[in-house]
Homo-oligomer: A and B are copies of this chain.
Amino acid sequence: MSELRKDPVTGRWVIISTERRKRPSDFHLESVEIAADPGCPFCEGHEQMTPPELLAHRHNGSGPNVPGWSLRVVPNQFPVLRVEGTLDRQGEGLFDKMNGIGAHEVIVESPRHEDTLATMGDAAVEELFWAARERVRDLKRDHRFRYIIIFKNHGTAAGSSLDHSHSQLIALPIVPREVRDKVDGAKAHYLAKERCVFCDILRQETGEGRRLIADNADMVGVSPYAPRFPFETWILPRRHQSHFEDAARHEYASLARLLADILRRMNKALCNPPYNLLIHSAPVSESTADYYHWHVEIIPKLTKVAGFEWATGFYVNPTSPEEAATVLRDARGYH
């Protein structure tokens, strides 16, 4: 029989469907293939094809916007929001709007076109987190911004328009609703119990082990109890901390190691799936220190049956998290 399960943070119910149960081999798996692209704007030597860089990691003393980098951050060429201007809030009868002030940046994760987070090596993955941290710390000094989203779309089916490995960062003048719900849910739990809900989740998951995928000294990878999507995976830092950008050096190293490991497990078990990766952090200016706990979410894109769930917020998941965790535990990746 199917089960309804409640997400302990947001309170959202999902259906874990046994009637429609799916194992990895039941999905119409779409593998990500990186096509060669001589005109790729993110490849080394093509620095002039992007707007001037905001940040680069260079190890050979080379100047800006020339080869010699291991990671580059550039403004998005087609930004959804722009930095220039004054934030202007207006009414339109019943309705509310504001102009599109914000920032939209791209983190190019490697000079090599064919690299992926699963294969580029743990040190290169760690560089991504250091760059994200530096950009967030810079952008949060701008008081127009209320939230900074760091995310990655891997593969066309996950919304990526360029194959070359990159992440994105968007600074917003509002806190998006999904974040608001997480923060409010975590706050309600804290007010009721004086404990962080994510710390409670960590305690139960590491104790029980049924949904545990892999872990190390600082980080724990789990299939969440009430996942919306098959093989949805969370990585939580063991130490309580509300903001991603305040993590310690060894935590970024541990996160890079565990993330690359989990992505290799997914590649093995799910045939190099497209995925979305998100860093969930507290809103930049809120003192949510006691009740929010930053974490990473990885959602492989395995199902196309999305329109309805998308529109209603009512999710049917054909793979239980216990089964997903078993599959990923058993799928030790190779490098």
User: Measuring CB to CB, which residues of chain A are less than 8 angstroms from any residue of chain B?
Assistant: 1-6, 8, 10-13, 15, 17-20, 78-82, 85, 92-100, 149, 151, 153, 156-159, 170, 172-174, 176-179, 181, 197, 200-201, 204, 208, 225-226, 274-276, 278, 297, 299, 301, 304-308, 310-314, 316
* CA–CA, A176 and B8, complex, Å: 15
- Chain B CB count within 10 A is highest, among A13, A170, A276, A314, for A314
17 contacts between A and B (CB under 8 A): A1-B100, A2-B80, A2-B82, A2-B100, A4-B97, A4-B174, A92-B225, A151-B312, A157-B307, A176-B312, A176-B314, A178-B312, A274-B307, A276-B310, A278-B312, A297-B311, A299-B307
Are the CB atoms of B149 and A312 closer together than 8 Å? Answer: yes
Q: Which residue of B lies closest to A303 (CB)?
A: B159
- Chain B CB count within 10 A is highest, among A4, A159, A299, A301, for A4
* CA–CA, A122 and B5, complex, Å: 40
Among B95, B173, B176, contact of A5 (Cβ-Cβ < 8 Å): B95
Besides A4-B98, A95-B226, A156-B304, 15 other A-B contacts (C-beta < 8 A): A1-B85, A1-B100, A5-B95, A5-B97, A12-B177, A17-B80, A19-B78, A94-B197, A159-B305, A159-B307, A176-B314, A177-B314, A276-B311, A278-B312, A306-B306
Are the CB atoms of A5 and B96 closer together than 8 Å? Answer: yes
A296 to chain B, nearest CB (A): 12
Are the CB atoms of A151 and B308 closer together than 8 Å? Answer: yes
Beyond A12-B177, A15-B100, A299-B307, whether A316 also contacts B80 by CB under 8 A is: yes
Are the CB atoms of A201 and B312 closer together than 8 Å? Answer: no
Instruction: Give 10 closest A-B pairs by Cβ, nearest first.
Output: A2-B100, A178-B313, A176-B314, A159-B305, A276-B307, A6-B96, A177-B313, A158-B307, A5-B97, A95-B225
